[in-house]
Structure 1
Amino acid sequence: MITIVYCCVCLLFVACHCGNILDSEGYSNDSPYVVEPEVQNIRVKNGTQFTLKCHHKGVVWEYRSCESNYKGLQCEIKNLNEADKENTWKKLNVTKGRLDVISSSRSISGLYRCLEKEIVRKIFIVEIVNPGSYEGTPPYVAPLKTSNLTGQLNIEFTIQCNVTSVIPPTIIWFKKCYGQKCDIEYDKICYCHINKSVTVYNIGNTYLSKYLIFNARDIDSGLYACLAVTEYGKDYKNVFIKVPSSKLQRRKRIILFAVSYTFHLNFSACCCLAVLLQEEKEIRNYNCRPTKAVNQTCCKNKRGNQ
């Protein structure tokens, strides 16, 4: 009896020990799950030495580059614990738990990861920055100026962005957007990048960028932002523009057509105007209303004179 109990205790001990080993290796005998690797963000000045540490034996180090834009280093961090089936990672000639980088440059910014037995243990997002970054005067964006030109067929809007900067800035235009798409967020407002090349002119330390909207429609209404970025910092301003509805633009063209006539309109022109408008509208000092009265003017001034 004692022997049977002793054997049961031993079996339970072995089962628990095996379970712990499996858990430590990233597996489980209870339910299938994946142990997410640890992720660290590291920012290093250009020209300095840094060390990446991975406390495991017989590891393999891999590297993958990232994009760099106005938002800084942009790395794709999804599925980083998967095997390199598409050869997007570069294997480094290091098999110990320390990766020493003696001379750093901005070109080696990116993702580093260490693997043990093909299991990703640790991920590093390394960004190399210039020593003088954020030590100068950041750019200044003046309040945006808008102007619009209304023609017979379309409306053209111009948004003017003036930037003062000690070094040439990168000027980028955005428009407020909604939903899941959000390229950048300022003051709790979501903005989407406008994929349009905008020419920048400069005189001394003043830089001018103009965003043009040709043949503006209702959908072009909204909040626009101008962002200026340098290695010393960034600044932005926004402005709201309202494009008249297509129906209102059509009525304005009709009114412009009407005021080109003399104060006394003949019956055919008046009826044409009344049919198009279908409601009372003011043309300068005259009120026009639909009428079918023959040989009567449908436009009278505010004093009642014809």
Structure 2
Amino acid sequence: MENDSTQGPIVLKGCFLSISLPSESLMKRRFTDEEEIIDEITKEFNLIPQRFISRFATLRSKVYEKILPLHTLKLQRTRARNVYLLPLNETPAFLEKMRGIQAEFGELQETINEYLESKEERLRRIQRYTDKKGISNVLRCPDLASRVHWSLTPVQLSHSFFEDFLAEEEQQAVAVLREELERSRSDVIAKSVGDLQERLGELIQRLAGTLIAKGKNRSRSADSVQRSLTELEGLCASANLAGILGSSFRTAILLTEAVKDQENSEQLETTARSLAVELGYRVLEEDPGQTLSRIALGLKKDLSPRVKALMEELL
């Protein structure tokens, strides 16, 4: 694996990102609880059609399954909230898409309210019942757009941070802080690389699965993996981590071409072995599928030997 870096130690520029979206339980509790109304009517308390719930879920999936993976690296996984690294070059596109998501949630809210304000007799009967019981705001959608929010904390992590921003006497006063922030910097880089490598492993595993397919199905599957690899390679470059994983992405993209060329099994075997060697893995299997599965397993388990060595060099 060649070292793509020509600028010395890694410098990360961008933002720490946390993000919050309206919860699906918000919609389901308000609109789909199976609460029976047994006064004037006996009916499940199901206010809006399933298509609105489905559209709500689709918007959430678009953020978590498409926008975030395309533009960010996951640094911390928690039950409550994840923390991401948003590289500087990815910020404009990310913000544009998130503002679009916010607008779509607002439009969905308006659509639901228009439905709830309709003259449908079932809704009017529910309204009379809830008015009698003193239950308010049942026929109003909660504010969705305001529940879409994100927090950005600008960050530049480099060896020269203090030298750039602090006077000489101040540098001496914060020697301990410098050491602590250097550990934090290394931790952020390690987690960023770990996220990239894990996602690379998932794509390599998908590529191994395509070897079972034949003809056009195999080519289509390989094309899909290739597009994902190209996007991930771009994210790697935006995060200034090409010096660690850049050449592996390029080799993996070449591997997708070899997978599509079903007449040249030797090229496939050679490229698969090259990727394994680049990442520092021993190749014991001759079968390309087994080689790729071995690579994928290693990438998802821990940083590869070669990646660890490069990180020690560049950190």
Indicate the TM-score class for this superposition, using the shorter chain for normalisation.
Answer: under 0.3
Identify the structure with bigger relative contact order (alpha carbons < 8 Å, sequence gap 6+). Answer: 2
Instruction: Return the structure number with greater helix share.
Output: 2
Choose between structure 1 and 2: higher strand proportion. 1
Q: Which has the greater radius of gyration? A: 1
